Amino acid sequence: MRHYDGSGDQTIAEPAQRARACRAGLLRWFFEQRAERAHMPITDQFVKDDGATWEGARFVVAEVQEAAEYLSHKGLIKGVEVAQVRGPVRAEITTDGMDCVTDWAGDIAGYLRDQRGYGSTVNNGPVIHGNATGGQWAWGNRDVTQHHSVQEVAPGFEPLAEAVAAIIRELPAFGLAPEDLRDAEDAANEVLAEVGNPEPEPRRVRRAVAGLRGFLMPIATNAARNEVQQLAQHGIDQLNSAIGM
C-alpha cells in the first residue's frame, strides 16, 4: 500500500502521474516500433525516444523497466524476461495493447477498467450501473426501468450492497494512488458479484468484505485529512453493521 493523503499533496500525486505517463509513453513507443516492423525492440531504448519525458524530465531506465513490468502483467506487451531485470528486456505490443492505443488513445487505466467492467457509476439510491460482470445492479426497484439485464441482490444482502455502493461513491475522496484505487474498486466489485448470486456463500462474502475493509482501515488511521479518516471509518462501520459485526 502507498501513503494516503487526501490533500492532493504533490509528493504523492506527481510520482503517480509520472508513472502513468511512462507506461502510456512506453506502450505508444512499442506501437510505433511495430508499425516500423522492429522485431522485439530492446525495452530500455525507449529512454532515448522524444516521448520519454514528463514535465520536461526524461524517464530513467528504472522507471521504464517498472512500466514494462506493469504493461506485461496487464497483457499489453509480451517479451523476453531475465531474472535480474524488472519486466521484459525485449518486447512487442499485444493486440490488447494495440486496442488500448488505437481505441483508447493510450489511456491504460480507462482501457483496463472497461475490459474488466469496472467503469462504475453509482447514482443516489441503490442502483449501480457497471459491476464486476459489466451488468447492472438494482434492488427495491419497482419504479426503475432499465434496458440491460439486471442482476438482483440476494434477499437479506441489500444492506451490504448499499454499504458497498456508498463506499464506491466516496472512493475518489480518499486520495488513493491510481493502482490502489483500482484495487479498491476490484474489492468492492467482488462483494457485489458475490451478493448478486441467488444464494451467496457466506464465507466468500466475509472474505470479500474483509478485503474491502482492508483497504479502508489504513486510510481511517493514517490519512492526512480528518474528513478522509472519517469517511473511511464510516465505510468500515457500514460494512460491519451490514454483516452483523
- Domain spans, the chain: 10-115, 119-242
Q: Which of 211, 214, 209, 217 is nearest to 234 (CA)?
A: 217
Query: In terms of residues, how long is the chain?
Result: 245
The pLDDT tens digits along the chain (245 residues) read: 444 444 444 444 578 889 999 999 999 999 999 999 888 889 999 999 999 999 889 999 999 999 999 999 999 999 888 877 888 899 999 999 999 998 888 889 888 888 875 444 433 334 443 433 333 444 444 344 333 333 467 888 888 888 888 888 787 877 778 877 788 888 888 888 888 888 888 888 888 888 888 888 888 888 888 888 888 898 899 898 888 75
pLDDT at residue 181, as a whole number: 79
pTM for this one? 0.47
Q: Which of 65, 95, 67 is nearest to 82 (CA)?
A: 65
pLDDT at residue 245, as a whole number: 55
CB-based contacts of 82, cutoff 8 Å, min separation 6: 89
Cα–Cα distance measured from residue 213 to residue 240, given in angstroms and rounded to the nearest whole number: 9
pLDDT at residue 117, as a whole number: 59
CB atoms within 10 A of CB 46: 25
- Check if CATH label 1.10.3470 holds for domain 10-115: no
pLDDT at residue 72, as a whole number: 93
CB 69 within 8 A of CB 89: no
pLDDT at residue 146, as a whole number: 38
